[in-house]
Amino acid sequence: MFSEDYHVDHLARHPILTYQQVEEQFGIKITGFGRGINVTPSKVVLISSISKAEGNFVYHDKWTSDGEYIYSGEGKTGDQAMSKGNLAIKNAAMDGKEIHLFVKFSPKDYYYQGKFELVSYTYEDEKGENGCTRKEYKFRLKKV
C-alpha cells in the first residue's frame, strides 16, 4: 500500500495525536489541509502529509535509507523562495529553535516523529502543483 519511502514500523512507535492536541501542545494553529511549516518563538513544527488513498506522501517528502528525512519546502507553484518557513528551517539552529516533525494521516492521526536537526538543504527541479517544473527546497533532517 505505501511506497518504499514510507517506513510503517518507524511511525508506529510514536505517539499519535489529533490536530487539536498538536495545536495545544506545540502552540501552533494548523490551517488548510494541515501540511506545512509552523514557526513559534522557540520551535519550528513541520507537518508532512500522507495520502491514505494513494499510500504516499502528498508532497515530495520522504525517508532516506539511512533514516534521515527529506522535507520539501513551502510554496506549491513557481520557484520556492528562501523566506518565511523555509528560512525558519534553515536558521533554526542559529536562532535556537527546535525542529519537531509530524506525519499526518488524517485530522485525528498526527504521528509525532520527534526532534530533528537540519543536516543540509538543496534547491532542486521538481514538479509544482500545476505540473510545471520549478525549483524546490529539500531539507535533509536527522533525528536528535
Give residue 32's domain range. 8-143
Q: Which CATH number characterizes residue 19's domain?
A: 2.30.280.10
Instruction: Convert the pLDDT of each residue in 64-122 to its tens digit.
Output: 888 899 999 998 889 999 999 999 999 999 999 999 999 888 778 898 999 999 999 99
**How many Å apart are CA 80 and CA 124, to the nearest integer?**
10
For residue 109, being part of any structural domain is answered with yes
pTM of the model: 0.87
Instruction: Convert the pLDDT of each residue in 124-142 to its tens digit.
Output: 998 887 888 999 999 999 9
For residue 3, being part of any structural domain is answered with no
For residue 41, being part of any structural domain is answered with yes
List % helix, strand, coil for the chain (3-state, nearest 5).
15, 45, 45
Count of domains observed in the chain: 1
For residue 2, being part of any structural domain is answered with no
DSSP character string of 84-122: HHHHHHHTTTTTT-EEEEEEEEETTEEEEEEEEEEEEEE
Per-residue pLDDT, 15: 82
Instruction: Convert the pLDDT of each residue in 59-74 to its tens digit.
Output: 788 888 888 999 999 9
For residue 1, being part of any structural domain is answered with no
